[in-house]
Structure 1
Amino acid sequence: MIPISDNLHNRSQPIINYWLIGINIAIFLWELKLELSGELGYFVNSWGVIPSQINGAITNAIFFNPAAWIVVIWRLFSLPLGMFLHGSFSQILGNLLFLWVFGKTVENILGHGRYLGFYLIAGILTGVVQILAEPNLTVPLIGANGAIAAILGAYVTKFPKAKIDTILPLIIVYIPIELPAFVYIFWWFLQQMFYGIGSLNIPPAGVNQTSMFYLTQVVGLLIGAAFMRLKR
């Protein structure tokens, strides 16, 4: 299923959503350039969320070396920065497609500034959950999945019966249909299984090798749903 648009009218242009999509695309193109030059592994391992490094830095700062809080702060910057990195073509295409369809309406509801804050905070909070769930993980966690799950949760909470224009690919035939928004909660989780397609070469051990991946998606959905309910 490929979501195209919804049937809701937006009063203003989703400027922040456009910028988020553009920044993600620009950084992914930069990743492709780094992959060709053999520098992508260093880049992603420097700016992706690596739970073991963050936990190690915090432990060192608390128990051994207070000056190490500088390292902790630097490591924590990976939480927002890692949201703009992606490890495969399928991951960025899937994420940005959902961001395009559902993000513009959520931005229209929240307003530009609050929408940007919501996007970043949701992504950071889901990153924190991943760190707490797997504190010894040594591979980078990257992608905007948590933030976009929160946007989907907010959208479906506000408009569960909104109709989403959808293309259903059947081999060489593409059938246009309309589906209620809540169906895309299930499709969101299903499509994650295919995010390894078109993976970039990120040495030494790749990215997003976590057994708690779906947990963070659930947390993202709940963050979005809770935020939208509190807004009421």
Structure 2
Amino acid sequence: MIPIRDHNPSLRVPYITFALLGLNLTVFLIMWPLRSDEAALAQIYYTYGAVPQHVLQGNGVETLITSIFVHGGFLHFAGNMLFLWIFGDNLEDLLGHLRFALFYLAAGIGASMVQVVADPSSSVPIVGASGAIAGIMGGYLLLFPRAQVDVLFIIVIFFKVIPFPAWLMLLIWFGLQLFGGFTAGGAQGGVAYWAHIGGFVVGFVAMLPLWQRLGGADYWKANDGHPNHPAARYRFQKTRIPPTRRNKHNR
């Protein structure tokens, strides 16, 4: 279940979103040659990642920011950048460039702090932009609950793009994080579920004042939960990949 685009175009160039994409890509490319050197890679994670034990002792507080730009691998990096690309420009459109940059950092720091509090004895570094991007998703849910998001479903050899309202896609994602947070605990399996949960809640709450200034529930009614500008129309709205079924004689 992979979101590939929304139908909510930006009305101005999202310079901060582009800058964040570029900065994350630069850091990722700098780290790429070290993938074969586990010791050097571990040193980077422990130097720039947020280690809960250290942060609670007042050491490495700056890592609450630096950790947002360090990723664990290609899929980790690519997934985060995809979500940033889809949802980030719209919040930047409403907040403005500077306020969006501050919002992104605040969501990332808040997300890491929730993970630190949830797993205070952990010595595993927290890295990645997931918490900050979760904050963007929380804000997006509040402001554009019915904006259309195209989601790619991949089930074995079956591919299909299905349009989802943003509220459904984002709440499914949030529900999965809650399930992981309560069942796995901490950062089991390499996923800091509570950072995702914390970032999402921080983003949602931080966007409440703007939502209220826009009219609150009246803003939803006026636009039926959609952006207050025409939705984007793509040339190919439906996938042309036909569904493939297994031959019933195959085992």
> TM-score, normalized by length of structure 1?
0.79
Q: What whole-Å deviation, never above 9, does each CA across 1:199-219 have from its counterpart, x for those lacking one?
A: xxxxxxxxx548993233222
Q: Deviation per CA, 1:27-64: give whole Å up to 9, x if none.
A: 112222122344111111111111112233x3xxxxxx
Query: Once the two structures are superposed, what CA deviation does each residue of 1:123-143 show, in whole Å capped at 9, x if it has no partner?
Result: 011112222222221111111
Instruction: Indicate conservation of the 8 Å contact 1:154/1:227, yes or no.
Output: yes
Equivalent pair of 1:139/1:209 in contact (CA under 8 Å)? no
- Give the 3-state SS of the residue equivalent to 2:207 in structure 1: helix
Unaligned runs of 5+ in 1: 59-71, 195-207
Structure 2 residue 173 is the aligned partner of structure 1 residue 187: yes
Q: Is the 8 A contact 2:7 2:147 kept in 1?
A: yes
Secondary structure of the residue aligned to 2:193 is: helix
* TM-align CA RMSD: 2.6
Report if the CA contact (8 A) 1:122-1:220 is conserved: yes
1:83 partner letter: I
- Of 77, 85, 95 in structure 1, the residue corresponding to residue 62 of structure 2 is 77
Bigger share in helix: 1
Tell me which residue corresponds to 2:225: none
Counterpart for residue 222 of structure 1: 201
Q: Which structure is larger by alpha-carbon Rg, 1 or 2?
A: 2
1:47 aligns with 2:48: yes
Displacement of 1:106: 0.9
Does the Cα contact within 8 Å between 2:111 and 2:194 map onto a contact in 1?
Answer: no
Structure showing greater relative contact order (alpha-carbon pairs closer than 8 Å, 6 or more residues apart): 1
1:68 equivalent in structure 2: none
How many residue pairs match? The answer is 204
| Cα distance in 2 for residues equivalent to 1:188 and 1:49 | 23
Q: Displacement, 1:10?
A: 1.4
Inter-partner Cα distance in structure 1 for 2:56 and 2:176: 31
How many Å separate the matches in 2 of 1:191 and 1:28? 25
- The 1:54/1:228 distance shift into structure 2, 3 A limit, reads closer
Q: How far off its partner does 1:12 sit? A: 0.4
After superposition, residues 22-171 of structure 1 pair within 5 angstroms as: 22-38=22-38, 39-56=40-57, 58=58, 72=59, 75-171=60-156
Contact 2:141 2:166 in 1 (8 A): yes
Q: How many percent identity over aligned positions?
A: 35
Structure 1 position 174, deviation (Å): 3.0
Deviation at 1:188, TM superposition (A): 5.5
